C-alpha cells in the first residue's frame, strides 16, 4: 500500500505525463518529460491507478482534437503548393474511425470538410 506522499507523487507524475501527452501525442515524449518508463505508464493504464485510464483517454481525445483543429486551420489557409499529407497521416493514426479511408465512417465529417475546402478554393481563385 502506498503512503500518502507516494500517492501524491504518483498523481503529480500522472498529471505531468497527461499534460505532456496532450501536447505531443507521444507516449515516449511524455514519459521522458516526466522521467518515467513506458512500463510505468502501461501499469497506470492496465491497473487504472488513481483513475488514470479515463484521464489518459481524455488526453488522447484532446490531442486528436488539436490535430483536427490544425487540419481545419491548414485547409482554410492552404495555398496551391501546400502538402497536407503528414497531417492527414497523423489524423488517420489518432482518429481512424473518423479519418481513415479504409475504416468505417460514423459520419461524413471528413467528406464534408473536403467539400467545403474545394468550394472555398473555387470561390477564392
Burial 53-73 (b: 16+ CB within 10 A, else e): eebbeebbeebbeebbeebee
Q: Residue 80: is its pLDDT beyond 90? A: no
Rounded to two decimals, what is the model's pTM?
Answer: 0.67
Q: Which of 9-18, 47-56, 102-111 has the lowest mean pLDDT?
A: 102-111
If one looks up domain 4-123 in CATH, what number appears? 1.10.10
**pLDDT score recorded for residue 73:** 84
**pLDDT score recorded for residue 83:** 77
Mean pLDDT confidence for 68-87: 80
Domain ranges of the chain: 4-123
**Please, are residues 87 and 46 in contact by the beta-carbon 8 Å criterion?**
no
Amino acid at each position: 500500500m502506498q503512503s500518502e506522499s507516494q500517492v501524491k507523487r504518483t498523481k503529480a507524475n500522472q498529471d505531468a505525463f497527461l499534460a505532456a501527452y496532450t501536447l505531443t501525442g507521444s507516449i515516449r515524449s511524455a514519459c521522458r518529460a516526466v522521467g518515467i518508463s513506458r512500463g510505468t505508464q502501461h501499469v497506470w493504464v492496465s491497473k487504472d491507478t488513481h483513475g488514470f485510464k479515463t484521464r489518459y483517454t481524455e488526453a488522447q481525445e484532446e490531442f486528436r482534437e488539436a490535430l483536427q483543429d490544425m487540419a481545419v486551420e491548414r485547409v482554410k489557409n492552404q495555398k496551391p503548393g501546400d502538402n497536407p499529407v503528414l497531417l492527414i497521416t497523423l489524423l488517420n493514426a489518432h482518429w481512424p474511425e473518423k479519418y481513415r479511408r479504409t475504416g468505417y465512417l460514423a459520419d461524413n465529417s471528413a467528406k464534408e470538410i473536403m467539400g467545403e475546402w474545394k468550394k472555398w478554393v473555387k470561390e477564392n481563385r
